[in-house]
Amino acid sequence: MFKVLVADAIKPDGLTPFIGREDILVVQKTVEEVRNELHEFDALLVRSATKVTDALLDRMTSLKIIARAGVGVDNIDVPSCTKRGIIVVNAPDGNTISTAEHTFAMIASLARNIPQAHQTVKGGGWERNRFAGTELKGKTLGIVGMGRIGSELTKRARAFQMDVFAFDPFLTAERAKELQVSTGSLEDLMAVSDFITVHTPLTKDTKGLFNRETIQKCKDGVYLINCARGGIIDEEALYEAIESGKVAGAALDVFVEEPPVDNRLLNLNQIIVTPHLGASTKEAQLNVAKQVAKEVVSFVDGIPVSNSINLPAIPAELFNRIQPYYQLVKTVGSFLSQFIQEGIKEISVKYGGDTFDYDTSILTKALVSGFFKGRVDVNVNEVNALLYAKERSITIGEKISNEAHGYSSSVTVKIVGETKTMEVKATYIKEYGPRIFAINDFKIDFYPEGHILYIQHHDRPGVIGVVGKKLGDMNLNIATMQVGRKEAGGEAIMVLTFDEEIPEDALSDLASSPDLSIVQGIELPAY
C-alpha cells in the first residue's frame, strides 16, 4: 500500500485523483498528529505550513515524493531531498491567476487608500480629503520578475491603461514585445516606476533586492508591493523609507516571519497587509490540489512527473518514446554492477543512432541509478544518482555518436573499476525487445532478464558439454544458451538463462572447474 500524508490544509475536492485507487491510502493529518508513524509514508503533500526540514526527512524514512500544492518550495529542504533521492514536485501554474488578481487588488487598494478609508468609515469617520488617492491611468508599473504571475499582471495593468516596465534577467526581447512591456536594468525600472511589484522567488540574489541603498534609487513617493516572498523587500529598510516619505505606501501579502510578530511595519498607516492570501481562492486551491494529487498518482504508476524541482521534466509523449531505452540502461547498469564488485572510477555511456535526438541526461541518470541499486543500501535513483556519484569521485561520461553497430540505435556502457574495465553494448529492437549484443568485444545476443549465468572459458571442444553435464547433474534446466568468441581457439563466453534462481553452490561448483575462467550469476529485473 502506498501511503500519502496530506499534512496541510489542502482542498479535499482536489484529492479526487486518488479516488478509486485501492493501492493508495490517503491520510489527512498533521505531521505532529502522526509523529509515531512518519516512517510509514511514501508521499507527503504540503502547502507552506509544514516545514520539511532535514530533521523531518530523517524521520520519514520511506518518503519517495513530496508534493507542494503551490509554487514556492522554500518550506522544503530541496537539497536534502535530492540527496536522499526524494522527488519534489510543485503546482507551478495553478495559482497564477489568483495571485496576479490579488496583486492587482493590492495595487488598486494602495492607490485609493481603500483599506484605511474602510476602517475609518466603519469607526464612524468620514475623512474624504485624507483619503484622496492617485489614478493608475498613465502611471508606470515596474514588475520585477516576469514569470507566470508577472506576465499575467501586465494584462491587468494594461486594462487600467498603465505603462509596464519589466526587469527579469531571463526575459527575452521577443517575449517582452509580445507582452508589450518596456525593459531595462533594475536601476532603470526604479528610476521610472510609480508602483513597483516583485514576483521572483526568494533566493540569495533576491533577498533584500529592495534595501536601504536601492530604495533610494526609486522615485520619491513610489509605492512598493510584495505578494511573492517576505524579505525580497527588506522590512527594516521599508519601514525607514516610509517614515522618511521616500516610499508613499506599501502592500504586503508576505513577511519574513509569518505570521508577523512584533513587526513595526504593522503600525504604519501607509502599509496595507493581507495574511499570505495570494493563492487563497477556491479555484486556485482546487487547481493546485488536483495538480499535485495527479503527480503523486503518476509517480505510483511509474509515469514521469511533470513538474519536478529536482528532476528534468519529460513530456509524456517523449517518455513513451524513450521508455524502452530508459529501462534498458537501468538493466545494463545492474548487469555491470553485479560483475564489477570493487571500487568504481568511471561510468560512461555512448548513445548511438537516431533515437537519441533529445536530452539524454535522464537516461544517464537511470543508468547510474541502475548501477547502484542493490549495490548500496541507500536509495539511489534519477534524483540523486549524479550527486551520489560525484560525492564518491566517480566520473560520469555521456556522448552522442552516429555509431549504432548495425542497429538503428544502441548504447555502449563502460565501467572502469579499480582493477577491471568492462563494456556492454545493447539495443532495443521493436517487437523483439532489449538485447545485449556485445560484452567486452565478445559478440553475443541475449535478452537481459531473469536468472542469468555468464561463463568465460577457453574455446575448445568439450567445454560446453562439461557445463551442460554439471548443470544437468544439479537438476538445473537451461532455458536459453548463447555462445560468443572473438576467434576460434581463443577466449569465449557463454550466457545461459534459467527459469529459477541459480543456487550459490552450483555457482561455486562451476567456478571450481579448471575449464572455466569466470563464472558469474546475474539477476535482472523482468521487462
Q: Establish if 94 lies at the interface with ligand NAD (CB under 6 A).
A: no
Exactly one of 144, 288, 385, 386 binds ligand NAD (CB under 6 A); that residue is 144
Compute the CA torsion angle 382, 384, 390, 391 (nearest 10 deg).
-150
| Those residues with Cβ within 8 angstroms of residue 392's Cβ, 6 or more apart along the chain or in another chain | 344
Question: Using CB distances below 5 to 8 A depending on partner kind, what does residue 17 bind out of ligand 2HG, ligand NAD, none?
Answer: none
Candidates 6-14, 141-149, 470-478, 486-494; binding stretch for ligand NAD (CB under 6 A): 141-149
Question: Using CB distances below 5 to 8 A depending on partner kind, what does residue 145 bind out of ligand 2HG, ligand NAD, none?
Answer: ligand NAD
Please say if 276 is a catalytic residue: yes
**Which member of 276, 295, 435, 457 is catalytic?**
276
| Structural contact between residues 190 and 142, judged by C-beta atoms closer than 8 angstroms | yes
From the centroid of its chain, how far is CA 469?
A: 52
Q: Establish if 199 lies at the interface with ligand NAD (CB under 6 A).
A: yes
Residue ranges in contact with ligand 2HG by CB under 6 A:
47-48, 70-72, 95, 276, 278-280
Complete edge-to-edge strand list for the sheet that includes strand 65-68: 24-28, 2-6, 43-46, 65-68, 87-90
CB atoms within 10 A of CB 169: 10
Q: Establish if 292 lies at the interface with ligand NAD (CB under 6 A).
A: no
Residue 161: what residue type? Q
Q: Report the alpha-carbon distance of residue 408 to residue 403 in Å, rounded.
A: 9
Q: Report the alpha-carbon distance of residue 107 to residue 375 in Å, rounded.
A: 57
Q: Establish if 8 lies at the interface with ligand NAD (CB under 6 A).
A: no
Question: Using CB distances below 5 to 8 A depending on partner kind, what does residue 147 bind out of ligand 2HG, ligand NAD, none?
Answer: ligand NAD
Exactly one of 6, 7, 91, 228 binds ligand NAD (CB under 6 A); that residue is 228
Candidates 273-281, 292-300, 459-467, 471-479; binding stretch for ligand NAD (CB under 6 A): 273-281
Helix (H) or strand (E) holding 316: helix 316-339
Q: Which residue lies nearest ligand NAD, judged by its C-beta?
A: 147
| Structural contact between residues 198 and 145, judged by C-beta atoms closer than 8 angstroms | yes
Exactly one of 254, 363, 436, 476 binds ligand NAD (CB under 6 A); that residue is 254
Closest C-alpha among 142, 242, 245, 237 to residue 194: 142
Please say if 84 is a catalytic residue: no
Q: Report the alpha-carbon distance of residue 463 to residue 448 in Å, rounded.
A: 23
φ and ψ at residue 16, rounded to 5 degrees: -55, -30
Q: DSSP class of residue 341?
A: -
Please say if 229 is a catalytic residue: yes
In the complex, the smallest distance separating the C-beta of residue 34 from ligand 2HG, rounded to whole angstroms, is 20
SS3 178: helix
In the complex, the smallest distance separating the C-beta of residue 258 from ligand 2HG, rounded to whole angstroms, is 10
Q: DSSP class of residue 418?
A: S
C-alpha cell at 349: 555511456
Question: Using CB distances below 5 to 8 A depending on partner kind, what does residue 133 bind out of ligand 2HG, ligand NAD, none?
Answer: none
Question: Using CB distances below 5 to 8 A depending on partner kind, what does residue 215 bind out of ligand NAD, ligand 2HG, none?
Answer: none
| Those residues with Cβ within 8 angstroms of residue 461's Cβ, 6 or more apart along the chain or in another chain | none
Is residue 317 exposed (0-12), middle (13-18) or buried (19+ Cβ within 10 Å)? exposed
Interface positions, 26-85, toward ligand NAD (CB under 6 A): 71-72
Across 434-450, b (16+ Cβ under 10 Å) vs e yields bbbbbbbebebebbbeb
Nearer to ligand 2HG, 92 or 304 (CB): 92
Nearer to ligand NAD, 223 or 442 (CB): 223
Candidates 36-44, 143-151, 234-242, 499-507; binding stretch for ligand NAD (CB under 6 A): 143-151
Nearer to ligand 2HG, 278 or 353 (CB): 278
**Which member of 187, 213, 236, 258 is catalytic?**
258
Question: Using CB distances below 5 to 8 A depending on partner kind, what does residue 48 bind out of ligand 2HG, ligand NAD, none?
Answer: ligand 2HG
**Which member of 102, 229, 435, 457 is catalytic?**
229
- Catalytic residues, which ones? 229, 258, 276
Chain residues binding ligand NAD by CB under 6 A are: 71-72, 92, 95-96, 99, 144-150, 167-170, 199-201, 205-206, 227-229, 253-254, 276, 278-279
